[in-house]
A and B are shown apart, each in its own frame.
Chain A
Amino acid sequence: MADKRMTEDEVVAELESGMTIGIGGWGSRRKPMSLVRAILRSDLTDLHVVSYGGPDVGILTAAGKCRKVTYGFVSLDSIPLEPHFRAVRQGGLLPDFMELDEGAFYLGLMAAAHRVPFYPTRAGLGSSMLANNPELRTVVSPYDDGEELVAIPAFEMDAAIIHMNRADQKGNGQFLGPDIYFDDLFAMAGEKTYLSAEQIIPTDDFLKEGPVHTLRIPRTHVDGVVEAPMGAHFTECPPDYGRDEAFQRDYAATAKDPELWAQFRTDWLELESHEAYRTKLEERSAS
């Protein structure tokens, strides 16, 4: 059986500029942040990011890495609107974006996972969602009801990145928190999927960690596994750790001032490795 273990930088080396990349998690919850920072410090550019957005979208758009973002929202949860993303939008700095109803976004993921061109929904009818996204089409039911519905297109992705609590080296993933969000669909939607995890454990140990229904990412959909303790920091990753609200506030405050933002990137986001980030984090919590 293949050993799929890799480093963050080895994952990024498999990505290319211009790619569509799906990012799992939800807002400021269980985001694959060590991989997001590896993308940030790489020379990748012109990306199309697909995400229930949090700091992943805030960081990558504020750094000018994205030509397009497809999203249901961009939020830090305890701070309802991602401040870096707000600055990018209000500055008119995002070349292209598709903002969808957050439930409709789930259907775009599911369509890609199931390899069908779209899933239908009423979400969007009567709202500005259709006018703001002229590429969206409607379909008429082929049955007697004849109802017109919005066809949410499949979010085809070159790659997807997700973060789990546990994984084995074969690529099976386990979530131990309250909600998997849509990470199983991201894993299926990605042409290639890379999974980071708090800990890589022997397959035998999965059921010591949680009940069988927490084993929601099968290895058939995973191409690489990265061991990244604190890999979702500063977003939450229960039960391993909660959100680092103090750190998140510091991050959010840098949206007001380009110099503060540049300093924060140097100090935290563009460190040479996840190990360096963790070491610095330990120093921060010790002080």
Chain B
Amino acid sequence: MSTSHTPGNGGPTGDITLDEICVVALAEAFRGDGETLCNPMGSVPVIAGRLARATFEPDLMLTDTIAYAIEGNLPLGGNPSDATIEAYMPFRSIFDQVWSGKRHVVMGAPQIDRHGNQNFAAIGDDYSHPKVQLLGMRGAPGNVINHATTYWVPTQARSFVESVDVVSGPGYDAVARLPEPSRRYHDIRRIVTDLGAYDFETDDGTLRVRSLHPGVTLKQAQEASAFELTVTGDIPESRHPTDEELHLIREVFDPSGVRKSEFR
């Protein structure tokens, strides 16, 4: 294990930047997954999945986002034909994989509430005439009720809302109303934002502060939330990348810094 970098005076975390802290926090969401299809959406989550496999979770399966599961450390935007294909994963197989349960997805969440209800479908009260049409339901309803789900929220202050306009991915209060067999695979593993990492390891299924990124106070995280954050015990600082992880993020997976464009 290489030594961690420590924050300096050059910024909030010295030479380690926020995007790298977020990549590591998302990679941590996959810890313990073993032989699972890791299916991240977005550049920071994709780097996180590849980073987890390259370091502490070597058995993860990852796709090239087209139709193949691939081996090796493919850079972001790299040519999948340079990689070794280990399995055929057309869309139909992805859905089969969803329902079989051996999958952990990372999706975005333009709106998310304290019970983990996610909305990336549309903004506005009238679904037949939305103020802003977003992605629609996509795969969220099926993903979230069938297997592990993590959300990536680059701007917490915009996304942590009191209530969502549409439930695309159901949260803990929504599935609590279902009979037990229907909710047995529901598992929102983690929410990673620009301020911290959150989970639902609480008795009442509310969003708990798991760690805060370097330099972020609980007060700041609370002010960037439209609901009360659940706190249990001391809140650790989010883990810093190791030297090996920094090398992989900066030199191997994303040398051109595409990941930084998700913070806007």
Binding site for B on A (CB under 8 A): 26, 71-75, 80-81, 85-86, 89-92, 94, 97, 99-104, 106, 121-129, 132, 145-149, 178-182
B242 at the interface (CB under 8 A from A): no
B133 at the interface (CB under 8 A from A): yes
Neighbouring B residues of A89 by C-beta, 8 Å: 122, 129-130, 133
Centre residue among A85, A101, A148, A180 by max chain B CB count within 10 A: A101
Contact (Cβ within 8 A) B91 A179: yes
Contact (Cβ within 8 A) A178 B67: yes
Centre residue among B141, B146, B175 by max chain A CB count within 10 A: B141
Contact (Cβ within 8 A) B135 A99: no
Contact (Cβ within 8 A) B141 A132: no
Report how far A90 CA is from B166 CA in the complex, Å: 15
B138 at the interface (CB under 8 A from A): yes
Neighbouring A residues of B133 by C-beta, 8 Å: 81, 85-86, 89-90
**Which residue of B is nearest A97, CB measured?**
B128
Neighbouring B residues of A147 by C-beta, 8 Å: 179, 181-182
Q: Which of B91, B95, B175 contacts A126 (CB 8 A)?
A: B175
Q: Which of B66, B67, B138, B145 contacts A73 (CB 8 A)?
A: B138
In whole Å, how far is A87's beta carbon from the nearest beta carbon of chain B? 9
Centre residue among B121, B177, B178, B182 by max chain A CB count within 10 A: B182
A/B interface sample: 22 pairs, CB < 8 A:
A72-B137, A72-B138, A81-B134, A90-B130, A90-B132, A90-B133, A99-B136, A122-B142, A123-B145, A126-B170, A126-B174, A127-B137, A127-B167, A128-B127, A128-B167, A129-B137, A129-B141, A148-B178, A179-B67, A179-B90, A181-B90, A182-B92
Neighbouring A residues of B66 by C-beta, 8 Å: 178-179
Contact (Cβ within 8 A) B90 A148: no
B139 at the interface (CB under 8 A from A): yes
Neighbouring B residues of A123 by C-beta, 8 Å: 141-142, 145-146
How would you classify the secondary structure of chain B's contact residues: helix, strand, loop or mixed? loop
Known: A103-B95, A128-B166, A178-B68. 9 other contacts (CB 8 A): A71-B136, A99-B136, A102-B95, A125-B170, A126-B171, A127-B169, A149-B182, A181-B90, A181-B91
Report how far A86 CA is from B185 CA in the complex, Å: 33
Q: Which of A81, A90, A100, A126 contacts B145 (CB 8 A)?
A: A126
Contact (Cβ within 8 A) B142 A104: yes
Report how far A100 CA is from B171 CA in the complex, Å: 18
Closest 7 CB pairs of A and B: A126-B170, A123-B142, A92-B129, A178-B67, A127-B141, A179-B90, A126-B174
Binding site for A on B (CB under 8 A): 66-68, 90-92, 95, 98-99, 121-122, 126-142, 144-146, 166-171, 174-175, 177-179, 181-183, 185-186
Report how far A26 CA is from B91 CA in the complex, Å: 9
**Which residue of A is nearest B182, CB measured?**
A125
Report how far A148 CA is from B179 CA in the complex, Å: 8
Neighbouring B residues of A101 by C-beta, 8 Å: 137-142
Q: Which of B122, B128, B175 contacts A125 (CB 8 A)?
A: B175
Report how far A101 CA is from B92 CA in the complex, Å: 13
Report how far A126 CA is from B137 CA in the complex, Å: 13
In whole Å, how far is B122's beta carbon from the nearest beta carbon of chain A? 7
Centre residue among B126, B137, B171 by max chain A CB count within 10 A: B137
Neighbouring B residues of A94 by C-beta, 8 Å: 128
**Which residue of A is nearest B98, CB measured?**
A103
Report how far A146 CA is from B138 CA in the complex, Å: 28
Neighbouring A residues of B166 by C-beta, 8 Å: 128, 132
Report how far A26 CA is from B138 CA in the complex, Å: 12
In whole Å, how far is B93's beta carbon from the nearest beta carbon of chain A? 9
Report how far A75 CA is from B175 CA in the complex, Å: 29
In whole Å, how far is B82's beta carbon from the nearest beta carbon of chain A? 16
Neighbouring A residues of B90 by C-beta, 8 Å: 178-181
Report how far A179 CA is from B262 CA in the complex, Å: 29
Report how far A97 CA is from B181 CA in the complex, Å: 30
Report how far A146 CA is from B180 CA in the complex, Å: 10
Neighbouring B residues of A122 by C-beta, 8 Å: 99, 142, 145-146, 182, 185
**Which residue of A is nearest B97, CB measured?**
A103
Q: Which of B127, B136, B142, B178 contacts A121 (CB 8 A)?
A: B142
Neighbouring A residues of B99 by C-beta, 8 Å: 103, 121-122
Contact (Cβ within 8 A) A90 B136: no
Contact (Cβ within 8 A) B168 A103: no
Contact (Cβ within 8 A) B139 A103: yes
Report how far A89 CA is from B183 CA in the complex, Å: 32
- Contacts A128-B121, A128-B166 hold; do A102 and B137 have CB atoms under 8 A apart? yes
Neighbouring A residues of B132 by C-beta, 8 Å: 90
In whole Å, how far is A76's beta carbon from the nearest beta carbon of chain B? 12
Neighbouring A residues of B95 by C-beta, 8 Å: 102-103, 106
Report how far A73 CA is from B91 CA in the complex, Å: 14
In whole Å, how far is B90's beta carbon from the nearest beta carbon of chain A? 4
